[in-house]
Structure formats: C-alpha cells, structure tokens
C-alpha cells in the first residue's frame, strides 16, 4: 500500500512540475497568434480552419480514447489516461514546435494559432498510437516520460522530413502513424513481460467492445479532416475526397477479409474496430495528390487486406516468436498501412509531372524542378522526388525504432512504477475501483446485496 | 459448422467482387470534382459545405448505428453491419447517381463532389431505415442485396420526383424516409417468420438502451444539417430554424404522450429513443418553406403524437394481425412522419404565392407560374404544385412498396443465409462472440472464473 | 400504482399545456430571422456561426446528458430527462429572451436567429447545471417547474449584468455557470432529504462510469466553442486559444491532484469526469480578454486545484454538516470555478488599458472611458470596470440563491411528485424498467433464464 501511495505522489509531483514549467515557458517565450493580438487585423477567419480542427480533436479524445476501451477492466485507463497524455502532449508540442519553427534564440515568441493547435493534435496522435502498443502494460508515469521523449523526436523527424528532405506528407502517415507505431512497438519490445500471455484480463466483454466502436466510428468519419485539415484550395478538396473513398473501400474489404479468413466464417470484432480505419492511414501521405478516385479505392482496399492479415497472422507470431506484444495491434492499423502510405506517395512523386498535376505539383513538391522558390531551389526530377519520399520514410523508421528502444530502456527504471504481474490490463493498478464494479464480477457482489434487499437503503 | 463457414465465404466473395467492380467503374467513368483538378480554380470552398456534410455523416454511422444497439445481443451487428452497409452504399450511390445525373454514354465522367458525398449519405439513410425494419432477421448478405436494389430504385424515384414531377423535398422525407420505411416494411412482410414472436432476445438490457441513446441524441442534434445541408442562402437558414424548432417540440411532446398513454404513467424508453426524432422527419420536405416558427412547432408536435401512438398501438397490431414485424418501429419514426412531411409540403405548395414567399417561391418550386426557366417552363398554379407534391409522394410509396415486395422474394433465396430460428436477434449468427461475453449471461461464466481466482493469471 | 399513474398524467398534461402555449406565443409574437424571410438578402452566412452552435448543442445533449449517467440505476433519467429539460428550455428561452430583448409591446416580433439559438442553449446550460445538483432527488415535473422559474430569473440577471452593469462575460461563466450552480444548490438545500445518505443506488458500476466519460470528453473538446461562439474577429480567436489552453492545463492538473490527495495514491474517476472541465468554466468570463497563453494555463491549473479540493473535502462536508447534498458536485465544477472566472475578469477589467488591449478594450468593455457610444457613454475607469464586474457577480449570486430558495419551497408542493425514499436515484420512479434489466441485478434474473435455456425461444 505504501508503494501505491508513493506511486501517486510521484505521478502528481511530475505533473505539477511539468505544468509549472509549461506556464513559465509560455510566459517567457509564447504568445497568441499575432492576428489575435489587439490592433492587428490579421487573419481572424476562425471559421475556415476551426471545424476541421475540432473534428481532429474529437479523433484524439473520443476516437483514440474509446477505441482502446475494449479491454474488460482497463476502460478508465483507456479513456482517462488517454486524456491525460493527450492534454500533456498538446502543451508540450506547442513548446517543442516553438523551439523548432521559431527563432526563439533571436527573441521571437512562438505563437498559439489554430494551425499550431492542429499540429499539436497531430503530435498527440503519434503518442496515442504508441500508447496502443503498450496499453495495459505501463504506468501513467512511464507514459508521460515516453510522451516527452517521443514528442521531441517526432517533431525533429517531421522537421527533417518536411524542411530538409522536402518530402510531402499531408496527412502525416509517415511522421505520425509510422513514427508512432514503430516507436511504440520498440518500446513494447524492450519492456516485454512474459506474464502478458494468458491473462484473462486481456480480452473484452460484450459492452466493452461496443464502447470501443464509439472510437472506431468517430475516427472513421472524421479522418478526412485529419488528412485535409492542413491543406488548402483544391488540394484540400482532393484530400477530403480521397480519404473518404479510401475509407469506404477499406471498411467493406475489412468485412470481406474478416469473414473469408475466419475458420468458422464469422466476423471478428477486432478487425472491424481497427482494420476499417487502415484506409485513412494508407491514404494519408498522398491524400492531396491526384491519385484519382479509383486509386483511393484501391489504396483503401489494399490497406484492409494488409491490416486484417496482420491481425490474423502477424500479431500472434510477433507475440510468440519475437516477444513483441502489441496490445491494440498498432502495427496492423498504423504501422504497415503507414508504410503503404509512404510508398504510395513515393510512387506518386516519381510519376509527378506538370502536365498531369498542373499547379498542384509545385504546391505539393516545392523541390521539384521548375518550382524553385528561394528556400527550395532544388530542381529535383520526378524520380528524385520519389527517392526523397522513400528517404523520409526510412529516416522516420530509423528515428522511431532507435528512439523507441532507447526510451524502452529508460522506462525500465524502477522509479517509474511499471505495473506488476497481477496488475497488467487492470485499472486497479492506478484507479480507485472496487472489484465488484467490474462487469465480469458484478454477479457475485450484487448477488449478496440482493439477498439483503430488505435493508437496501 | 460447414454451413457457417460457407456463409462467410459467400459474404466475403460478394464484397470482394463488388469492390473490384466499383474500382473498375470509378477508373473508367469517375473523376474528382472538376474544381479539385489541377489548373482549375473552380469552387474550392470546402468550408461552406463540409461541416454540414460531416454532421450528416455522424448521423449515418453513429446515429443509425447506435440507435439500433438497443437489442441485448445484437450490438455488434447494429453498429458493425450498419457500417458495412453504409460504406457499401456510399460507393454504390456515387455510381448509380453518376449514371442518372451525368451523360456517361456521351463520354462524361461522374464527379465526386462534397455535394455528391452528401447525396450518397442520403442514399445510405434510406437503406439504413430499411435495415431497421428487418434488424435481427436477415444476414449481411441479404442486406447487401437489398441495399443494391434499393439504392437503384430510390435514386430513380428521386429523379422522377425532382426532375420529372418537380416536387420539392429539401430534407428528402419523401425520397429517403418514406421510401426507406415502406421499402423495408415490404421486405419485412415478405420475409415474415413466425419465430420472431416471443424471443427473449428481442429486448434490451439497461446498458444497451443507453448505448441506443447515443444514436438518438446525435441524430436529434444534427438533424438540422440533414434538412438544410443541400440548401443555400436564406432557404438554408430557414431549414435550420424550422428543423430545430420542430425537433424541440417533438421531443417534449414525446415525453407527454409516453407518460399519458402508459398504463402506469411511466415513460417508455422506446418512445424516447425514437419518437423524439419524428419531428426531424416530419419537417423534412417543407424544411426550407416559410411555415413560420409556430408552424414548425406544430408539425413537430403532431409528429410526436403520431409516432408515440404508432409505437403504442399500431406496431403490436401490425405484428399480430398483419404478420408485419417491424423491429425498430420504422413505420412510426420514418414512415408515418414522412407521410406527414409530404402532405405538409403539398399544403404549403398549394398555398404558395409570390406575395408571401418572395423569391423563395421560384427557388423552391421552379415549376410554378412566373418562375419559368428553360428547363421547367411549366407555369403551374399553386394548387397544381400541391397536386404534384402529392403525386411524388404517391409514386414514392408505389415504387417503395412494389420494389420492397419484389426484393423480399429475392431475399428468400436460400443461398443468402437468412438466420434460422435460434439465431434471430443474435450476433452469434455472424460474429465470433462467446456466449459468456453477453451481458445477460456474464454471471454464470464469470462466476466460475471467480472461483478460480487463485489461478487468475 | 394509482399514484404513479396520476404522476404520468400530470407530467403529460403540463407538457401539453406548455407546448400549446409555446405554439400560440410563437404564432402571435415570433418570427424567423428577418434575414431568412423572402426578399431580404440579409445575413445568410450560416457557415460562420452554425458549426460552433452545433458544438454547443452537442455539449448540452451529449455532454450534460451523458456526464450524469454515472449513477448505476439513473441512466435513463440522466440522458432522457436531460433531453426533455433542454428541449423545453430551448423554446422557453427564445420566448423569455424575446420579451426582454425585443419591443414586443410596441408590436415587434422576436426573431429565431442562430445567435438566439446559441443563447437558448446557454439558457439550457444553466438549468442542466442546476439539474446536476438535484439529480436523482426530484421528479420530471419538479424539474420543469424549476426550469421555468430559473430561465426567467437567469435571463433577467443576464440582462442586468450585460445591459445595466455593462459587465462582460463572453463565455457566461457568471450568468450561466455561477447562476446555475448556486440556484441549483439552493434548491437542493431546501429539498434536503436525509434518506439520500447511505443509499447503495447513489454510486456507479464500471460501465456507467465509462458512459459518463462520453459526456466529459465532448464537453471538454467543444468548450472553446462555448466560450467563443458569440465572439467575433480576433476576440473569437483569443477565446478559442485561451479556453483550449486552460482546459489542457486543467486536465493534467486534475490528474496530479487526484493522485496526490488520494490516501492510496490512486486516481478517482469522479475527479477525472468533472474537475478536468473546470478550466473551461474558469476561463469563461475572461475568455476573449488578453490574459496571454500563460495566464490561461494558470487559470486552468488553479481551477483544477479548487475543483479537486472541493470534491475531496467540501462536498462531503456540505452534505454532512450543512444538509446540502450535491449529487454531481456542481459546486466544484461550475460554482467555485465560476467564481474564479468572475474574479479573474474583474482583475482583468481593473488592469485594462487602451495601450495593452488596443481596440479590444472598447469591444469588451464598451463602458470604459473613451469608448463612448450612444448607449453606454459611461466613461468608467479601469478600476470602476473591475468593480462593476464584481457587482455583476454579486448580483448573480444574490438572484441565484434567492431564486433557488424560493423555487425550492415551491417544489415542495406535494402535487409535484417528489420521489419517495425508495425511489431516490432510481429510474423506476418514472420509467418502465424491469428490475432485472439493471446491470447490478442482471445476474439473478438471467441466471434463472439460463436454466430454462432449452425453452429459450
């Protein structure tokens, strides 16, 4: 009991110190969007960006939060700790991005714009994906340490990809999904605990699976806003349409594969909850590119196939052979479909030409030949652009895996209160919840209580 | 077991073939919105239509999906198969609408615009309403066949109503709600199975009813977007206000009627989940017409009365006397309130005049006298317009009922795997779900497991 | 049984009479937004205000509705009666506001604009906050009477505050949150019933707590729309950013405090469900003021501290010592954070100057010196403005507490069917729900049913 009490004090103290630090950094280095400062007309068009930002916000807090509630005894942590981690990352990401994108040393202050808030949500997405790989196996304190390291590395990686390699990634399937998935999987590998096998707590009850579907449908519906939120003009329109079509194909193909591969011909809820979303990931990098409606449908269909096959065959194999236990199957939902996204966009880059792409080519690939502005007068050929897209994907994988392994070892520090064997996949590790409140044991406790119904109140 | 395995293979194969067909059709005949093609400035104003489109999207996937989760053992199918059917229809409807509204034969390509995506969601709504009538009594394969026939007929009916009869239906209460309800009811009648009576599975548990309320509130809140999404200018403003007021009156009148009619004076959850929404349906056709705020309140109030009376008296009667078993009561939520919508708009049409309607008259009824443009130089009197509104309602009923009966017989083909007696209203027909996961049997299985709590992990 | 039947008739009759009255008042005194009348071009820009209105709408119906579903046997009432009360208030508030803000006597008609619909949602918020204080302890009929009195008093108070005292309150933390909380608490105090103590029904089961989190996250995500919905230009941008930052800090500080204060170092679900939202309330009044990002983070952090301390120490004390039983802890979520909001804004007012505020000063405080327009040529100093802000807060408290006490005594009339001892916190007071449907007794009834599984259907 003393140990748990200490665990609470540590968590509380770390958050307190973090929040005080955040406030001080914002006080000395941060500011509003200059356009929301008095006497500055600027861009006050909240209505242009805000609705899509809110859709993405729903994806982070309802989408990820509820998607992970499928475990029968880990719902408080899924939706609750998801909120803690996301809200923590929002503030941290604004600061980290400030240091990267503003001349802080030169006296500039970083700005909190709606665009930056959208980017902060993207930063949260990467961390929440990693959370999925280690769900039920780490403490809140471990998660906050993981989040801190991951946000810094992911933002650096995004900076390298966008501003050094000039690799396009509109829906950030490389910089968010691939990064988050392989970072999280690397952490999970290092933290591998043999006791995860055979736990009866690592499973759903009927209603926890339906809670999870709340997350699925909100992610599915609002994904076009994720892939198009940062775009403009007809690139934005195309990102909406491509993502919508990719997801539609992915959803129905997931049902097909789930039924075809099952030994009894029945559908599997895990596939429906997760693989239906792979089309959003797979479309992310090329979202604003002219892949044409049929191309979007094809990408979504392939994503479904990869994702269901992954859940069916790869995840059990990774767990039993490679000691890589992936609680939510993020490799199947974010990892492999993210690789597909990166490769699709590299192919598109290698095929890009001003004849078929029009003015979109230079907007999407400013480093292509003939697009030269001051910052990126690189005159790349189409093939070169394709190569740089692959380079960005490779760099992302390298930083994610390397950073994840390093982070995993850091998280092993005993100070961070990893849950012990009997507290895996169990909210009782860190929440006040009586055993008899759980749906799978409601019977016994309430059976007693019914016998005493005379003295009920 | 062989039979179930075969069932999965059939479902998977049908979806696979459908998706390959969709991709080929989109490749040869479809394209982006021309305005999202490179070098075409066009209409890139995503922000004007996208937020309302997303609201309607939420109605389809969260609204309909969760509304139907009230059954204690049919939640996976409700929210999961709802997603399958809706995503299938989205793609199909874009194609069917392409053939109807574009000169495909003449070499034109159909376009995927946000407006078309909204129309595809409307097409999904009709099918999901029909799904409600047969919920728990058909297989996924039957549903996909039903959806295919229904989308084609519904789009043809809409074309006849809008472009031949020039009957206005802004929120498509005729072309979507009346069509979907009576098509589905006709299917349900033909598929009547006496074993539906007395099944203990056809009922809720406490938490399945609360899941259902997630669907109710999202449908209720976003209905103004459904009725106004395709409108513009002050017609759009009026459609928002009318629907909002109609729903407000409908919600409270539903509580009044539910309490007044109950033999014990208590509220009935079925009424609250469904009849509160009838005001959205009843306001649909005249949504953009100047019915005035009090008129909207009145329409919503009458819708509540009709709907609660329907649930209370008509549904049991139809089931016992006419062998018409309507699982979700779609006749009460979509059927009769849809008729009210059609009749209200016919009355409004018969009363329309340029003096009181101003420029709205020609925008809403382009076939009225003095509105003549090239396509509709029909010079109808007010009374004639009212008559044509009723004609559109009648045609809708005829095509829906005729098409539904035909479809019902097609769905009887044994190949389509209708669930047998013991699998009615049961997810085990097509999902991998262990008996002990269901909320109503959690006790027994987990009781055993508790006895073994020493060896828990 | 006769008594319950009578209860239903009374509820139904009151709603019926109310709705007929509403329809008559709208018919004689109400109209559309003039801009949605025919032949009036006017402001038809639905897309500017509608998305934020819909966010606020979601907060009312999903947010408040589901937040209160935490009780194990009161979920129907929480989400259902929440809908009844909110839909009732929407119509009532449009009328009451019409009488206050339009020259009805002079023949003017009040208009239903999207701005007024937003204000009606704000009016509903106040009543739903009060509902939280008395949740499980009053009948629907009592709630409707309470709502009627409260809406009138709250709208009068808002009128005094905004138009007589010229006190700014963009997110209405004073006029909505403080008012709703202390009105509701005063009602709860007068209605105090000693039998609330020790009821086993006043608690959650695991899944009811997760339903409650649906409410929490939607309130949390969309709160920037609540605080910024009525603002414009860069004041609106600032209101979004301030509220977003305040909530982010509040969320993580709630976790810190919850863990630090718990005797076992564990997190408490009640804190996460509620105190994470206090940052939205605390930021409400000064939402559009230039408090700077660090100021918003600080306000959110302080709100979390106040709120968690309140739940931990004050609520039990009020209940045991002062006979003030606050079911949802509205004092901690809306009351004290609302006071913090009012005081923060008063401090900001006292510090306001044209040098640092620019043109925002006169937009936010039109009564400040140098801002004189015809209506408010008051030339207040900064300190005076601060004083008037405190005056508005004091008037709000006085009217809320006085009105609440009065209302409490009115609600004691036996005609209004307050639930008796054994029906506290129990849906069976007013809903048709079988005992065996409740999650906490599912075992016994379904245990029997399993024994009869041979005759299952």
Residues 44-83 on A with a CB inside 8 Å of C are 44, 46-47, 50-51, 54, 57-58, 61-62, 65-66, 69, 73, 75-76, 79-80, 83
For chain A, say whether C350 makes contact (Cβ under 8 Å): no
Residues 378-417 of B with CB under 8 A from C: none
For testing contact with chain C, the best of A9, A62, A80 (most C CBs within 10 A)? A80
C-beta of residue B231 within 8 angstroms of C-beta of residue B62: no
A265 touching chain B per CB within 8 A:
yes
Judged by CB atoms closer than 8 Å, whether chains meet at C206 and A433 is answered as yes
CA separation for the pair A288, A278 (Å, rounded): 17
Residue of B nearest to A263 (CA): B5
Question: pLDDT per residue over B186-224, tens digit each?
Answer: 999 999 988 888 788 999 999 999 999 999 999 999 999
Q: In b/e form, how buried is each residue of C321-346, taking b as 16+ CB within 10 angstroms?
A: eeebbbbbbbbbbbbbbbbbbbbbbb
Minimal Cβ distance to B241: which of C32, C66, C87: C32
For residue C365, name the pLDDT band (cuts at 50, 70, 90).
Answer: very high
The conformation of residue B430, written as its DSSP 8-state character, comes to T
**Whose CA is closest to B246, among B345, B152, B316?**
B345
Of B51, B221, B237, the CB nearest to C58: B221
Q: Which of A79, A89, A124, A78 has the alpha carbon at shortest distance from A15?
A: A89
- Chain C: residue whose CA lies nearest to A15: C256
Whole-angstrom distance, CA of residue C36 vs CA of residue C44: 7
* Other residues' Cβ atoms within 10 Å of the Cβ of residue C2: 8
Contacts of B58 in chain A (CB under 8 A): 221
B399 token code pair: 């095509």
Q: Does residue C438 contact residue C72 with C-beta atoms inside 8 Å?
A: yes
For residues C360 and C237, the answer to whether their CB atoms sit within 8 Å is no
Asked if C315 contacts C332 with a C-beta cutoff of 8 angstroms, the reply is yes
> Roughly how many angstroms between the first and final C-alpha of chain C, as a whole number?
32
pLDDT at B436: 83
Which residue, A262, A264, A282, A263, is CA-closest to A272? A262
Of the candidates C150, B41, B90, B221, which has an alpha carbon nearest to the alpha carbon of residue A247? B90
Confirm or reject contact between B187 and chain A (CB < 8 A). no
Q: Are strands C110-112 and B110-112 parallel, antiparallel or unpaired?
A: unpaired
Place of tokens 């959803």: A251
Comparing CA positions, the residue from A150, A31, A28 lying closest to residue C245 is A31
A-B Cβ pairs (cutoff 8 Å, strict) = 237
CA distance A196 to chain C (A): 23
Q: Do B35 and A237 touch (CB under 8 A)?
A: yes
Q: CA C113 to CA C126: how far, in whole Å? A: 20
DSSP B429: G
Specify the 3-state DSSP secondary structure of A202: coil
H or E segment to which residue A319 belongs? helix A315-321
Hey, which residues does B368 pair with through a beta bridge?
Answer: B380
Report whether pLDDT(C387) > 80: yes
Nearest CA in chain A to B81: A255
From the list B52, B258, B260, the residue facing C9 with the nearest CB is B260
Task: Report chain A residues whose CB lies below 8 A from the CB of C424.
Answer: 457
Residue-wise pLDDT for C108-149, tens only, equals: 999 999 999 999 999 999 999 999 999 999 999 999 999 999
Mean pLDDT, consecutive 10-residue stretches, chain A (457 aa), reads 82 98 97 67 68 96 97 96 98 97 93 94 98 96 98 98 96 98 98 87 93 98 96 91 98 98 95 98 97 98 98 95 96 98 98 92 93 76 97 98 98 91 92 87 47 34
Phi then psi for residue B32, to 5 deg, are -70, 165
Q: Are B207 and C440 in contact (CB under 8 A)?
A: no
Phi-psi region of C74 (alpha: psi -120 to 50; beta: other; left: phi over 0): alpha
Encode pLDDT of A60-95 as tens digits.
Answer: 999 999 999 999 999 999 999 999 999 999 999 999
Superfamily name and number for C1-36+50-412: Ammonium transporter AmtB like domains (1.10.3430.10)
A210 → closest Cβ in B22, B32, B211: B211
Chain B residues near residue C438 by CB distance under 8 angstroms: 206
d(Cα B445, Cα A434) in Å, to the nearest integer? 20
Which residues, including other chains, have CB under 8 Å from residue A398's CB and lie 6 or more apart?
Answer: none
Judging contacts by C-beta atoms under 8 Å, the chain C residues touching residue B259 are: 7-9, 11-12, 430
C74 to chain B, closest Cα gap in Å: 10
Note whether A212 contacts C: Cβ–Cβ < 8 A: no
For residue C111, give the H/E element and its range. strand C110-112
pLDDT, tens digit (0-9, with 9 covering 90-100), for C165-180:
999 999 999 999 999 9
Residues near C317 by beta carbon (within 8 Å), at least 6 away in sequence:
none
Average the pLDDT over each of A247-251, B359-363, B405-409, C77-81 and give the range with the smallest value.
B359-363
pLDDT at B198: 76
Q: What is the CA radius of gyration of chain C?
A: 23
Q: What is the mean pLDDT of chain C?
A: 92
Query: Mean of the per-residue pLDDT values for chain B?
Result: 92
Determine contact, residues A282/A341, Cβ cutoff 8 Å.
yes
Q: Using CB atoms, pick whichever of C35, C62, C112 lies closest to residue B217.
A: C62
Please indicate whether, in this complex, the C-beta atoms of B432 and A260 are within 8 angstroms of each other: no
**Contact B148/A at CB under 8 A:** no
CB C109 within 8 A of CB C29: yes
Pairing of strands C110-112, C30-32: parallel
The residue behind tokens 């996250």 is: C217
CB contact under 8 A, A443 and B438: no
> What is the token pair recorded at A262?
């099952």
Q: Among all chains, which residue has been given the structure tokens 């997303």?
A: B54
**Residue C37's closest CA among A423, B237, A449?**
B237
Residue C454 is predicted with a pLDDT of 33
Provide the residue ranges of all domains of chain B, joining segments of one domain with +: 1-36+50-412
Cβ(C184)–Cβ(C423) below 8 Å:
no
Considering only alpha carbons, which residue of chain A is nearest residue C288?
A: A36
Question: What count of CB pairs under 8 Å joins B to C?
Answer: 235
Tell whether C2 is within 8 A of chain B (Cβ): no
- For residues C434 and C430, give the distance between their C-alpha atoms in angstroms, rounded to a whole number: 12
Sign of CA dihedral C187, C188, C189, C192: positive
Write down the pLDDT at residue A4.
74
A302-345 pLDDT tens trace: 999 999 999 999 999 999 999 999 999 999 999 999 999 999 99
Structure tokens at C390: 């405190």
- C442 interface with A at CB cutoff 8 Å: yes
Is residue B233's pLDDT more than 70?
yes
Task: Check pLDDT > 90 for residue C313.
Answer: yes
- C321: closest CA of chain A, how far (Å): 21
Touching C (3+ Cβ pairs <8 A), the chains are A, B
Contact flag B31-A292 (C-beta cutoff 8 Å): yes
Distance (Å, rounded) from C-alpha A181 to C-alpha A186? Answer: 9
Q: For A268, which of B207, B432, B456 is closest by C-beta distance? A: B432
Are residues C377 and C156 in contact, defined by beta-carbon separation less than 8 angstroms? no
- Cα C154 vs. chain centroid, distance in angstroms? 12
Q: Which pLDDT belongs to residue A329?
A: 96
Q: Are A231 and A452 in contact (CB under 8 A)?
A: no
Residues 6+ apart with CB under 8 A from A76: A427, A431, A433, C209, C210, C267, C269, C272
Residue of B89, B427, B442 to mutate for A, most A C-beta atoms under 10 A: B442
The C-alpha atoms of residue B6 and residue A440 are separated, in whole angstroms, by 33
Residue of C301, C313, C311 lying closest to C340 (CA atoms): C301
> Is A456 an interface residue toward C (CB < 8 Å)?
yes
Query: Is the CA virtual torsion C93, C95, C99, C102 positive or negative?
Result: positive
> How far apart are the C-alpha atoms of B400 and C126, rounded to whole Å?
46
Q: Is residue C286 a contact partner of residue C175, using CB atoms and an 8 Å limit? A: no
Which of C221, C237, C265 is the closest to A36 by Cβ?
Answer: C237
Subunit contact A440:B446, Cβ cutoff 8 A:
yes
Burial C171-197 (b: 16+ CB within 10 A, else e): bbbbbbbbbbbbbbbbbbbbbeeeebe
Q: pTM of the prediction?
A: 0.95
Query: pLDDT for B83-135, tens place per residue?
Result: 999 999 999 999 999 999 999 999 999 999 999 999 999 999 999 999 999 99
Binding partners of B (≥3 Cβ pairs within 8 A): A, C
Token duo for residue A73: 């005894």
Residue B47, pLDDT > 90, answer: no
Q: Are C301 and C249 in contact (CB under 8 A)?
A: yes
| CB B344, CB B282: distance < 8 Å | yes
d(CA C328, CA C286): 25
The answer to whether the CB atoms of C293 and A30 lie below 8 A apart is: yes
Average pLDDT over residues C242-257: 98
DSSP state of C112: E
Please identify which residue in the block is written with the tokens 């097609």. Answer: B410
Q: C378: pLDDT confidence band, cut at 50, 70 and 90?
A: confident
**DSSP 3-state of B30:** strand
Strands (E) in A66-195, as ranges, are: 110-112
Question: Does the distance separating the beta carbons of A19 and C200 come in below 8 Å?
Answer: no
Distance CA B243, CA C117 (A): 12
The radius of gyration computed from the CA coordinates of chain B, to the nearest angstrom, equals 23
Per DSSP bridges, beta strands C30-32 and B110-112 are unpaired
Complex ipTM, two decimals? Answer: 0.94
Query: Residue B454's pLDDT band (boundaries 50, 70, 90)?
Result: very low
- The alpha carbon of residue B407 is apart from the nearest alpha carbon of chain A, in Å, by 22
Task: Report whether C382 contacts C349 (CB < 8 A).
Answer: yes
Residue A52 is encoded by which pair of tokens? 């899509």
The three-class DSSP label of residue A47 is: helix
Dist. CA C404–CA A18, nearest whole Å: 41
Nearest beta carbon to residue C209 from set A19, A76, A112: A76
Tokens coding C173 = 């933390």
How far, rounded to the nearest angstrom, does the alpha carbon of residue B140 sit from its chain's CA centroid?
A: 17
Going by pLDDT thresholds of 50, 70 and 90, the confidence category of residue C8 is very high
* pLDDT for position A48: 78
The pLDDT tens digits for C410-423 are 999 988 889 988 89
Q: Bigger pLDDT: B376 or A411?
A: A411
Give per-residue pLDDT as tens, B417-443.
899 888 999 999 999 998 888 887 765
């Amino acid at each position: 009991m003393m140990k748990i009490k200490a665990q609470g004090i540590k968590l509380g103290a770390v958050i307190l110190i973090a929040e005080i630090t955040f406030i001080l950094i914002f006080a000395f280095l941060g500011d509003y969007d200059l356009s929301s400062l008095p006497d500055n007309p600027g861009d006050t068009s909240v209505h242009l960006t805000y609705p899509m930002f809110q859709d993405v916000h729903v994806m982070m807090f309802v989408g990820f939060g509820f998607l992970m509630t499928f475990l029968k005894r880990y719902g408080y942590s899924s939706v609750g700790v998801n909120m803690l981690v996301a809200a923590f990352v929002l503030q941290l990401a604004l600061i980290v991005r400030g240091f990267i994108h503003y001349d802080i040393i030169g006296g500039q202050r970083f700005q909190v714009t709606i665009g930056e808030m959208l980017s902060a949500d993207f930063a949260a997405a990467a961390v929440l994906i990693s959370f999925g790989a280690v769900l039920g196996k780490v403490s809140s304190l471990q998660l906050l340490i993981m989040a801190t390291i991951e946000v810094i590395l992911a933002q650096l990686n995004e900076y390298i990809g966008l501003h050094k390699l000039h690799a396009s990634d509109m829906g950030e399937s490389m910089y968010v999904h691939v990064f988050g998935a392989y970072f999280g999987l690397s952490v999970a590998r290092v933290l591998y605990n043999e006791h995860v096998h055979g736990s009866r707590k690592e499973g759903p009850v009927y209603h926890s699976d339906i809670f999870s579907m709340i997350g699925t449908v909100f992610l599915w519906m609002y994904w076009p806003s994720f892939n198009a939120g940062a775009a403009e003009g007809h690139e934005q329109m195309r990102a909406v349409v491509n993502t919508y079509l990719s997801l539609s194909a992915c959803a129905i193909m997931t049902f097909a594969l789930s039924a075809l591969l099952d030994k009894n011909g029945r559908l599997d809820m895990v596939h429906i909850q997760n693989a239906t979303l792979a089309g959003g990931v797979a479309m992310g990098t090329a979202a604003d590119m002219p892949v044409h409606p049929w191309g979007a449908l094809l990408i979504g269909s392939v994503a479904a196939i990869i994702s269901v096959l992954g859940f069916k065959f790869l995840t059990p194999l990774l767990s039993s052979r490679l000691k890589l236990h992936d609680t939510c199957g993020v490799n199947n939902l974010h990892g492999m479909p993210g690789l597909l996204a990166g490769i699709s966009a590299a192919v598109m880059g290698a095929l890009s030409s001003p004849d078929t792409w029009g003015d979109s080519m230079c907007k999407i690939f400013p480093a292509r030949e003939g697009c030269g502005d001051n910052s990126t007068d690189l005159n790349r050929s189409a093939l070169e652009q394709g190569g740089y897209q692959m380079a960005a994907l490779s760099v992302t994988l390298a930083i994610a895996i390397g950073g994840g392994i390093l982070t995993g070892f850091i998280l092993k520090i005993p100070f961070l209160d990893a849950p012990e064997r009997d507290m895996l996949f169990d909210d009782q590790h860190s929440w006040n919840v009586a055993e008899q409140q759980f749906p799978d044991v409601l019977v016994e406790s309430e059976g007693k209580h019914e016998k005493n119904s005379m003295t009920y109140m």
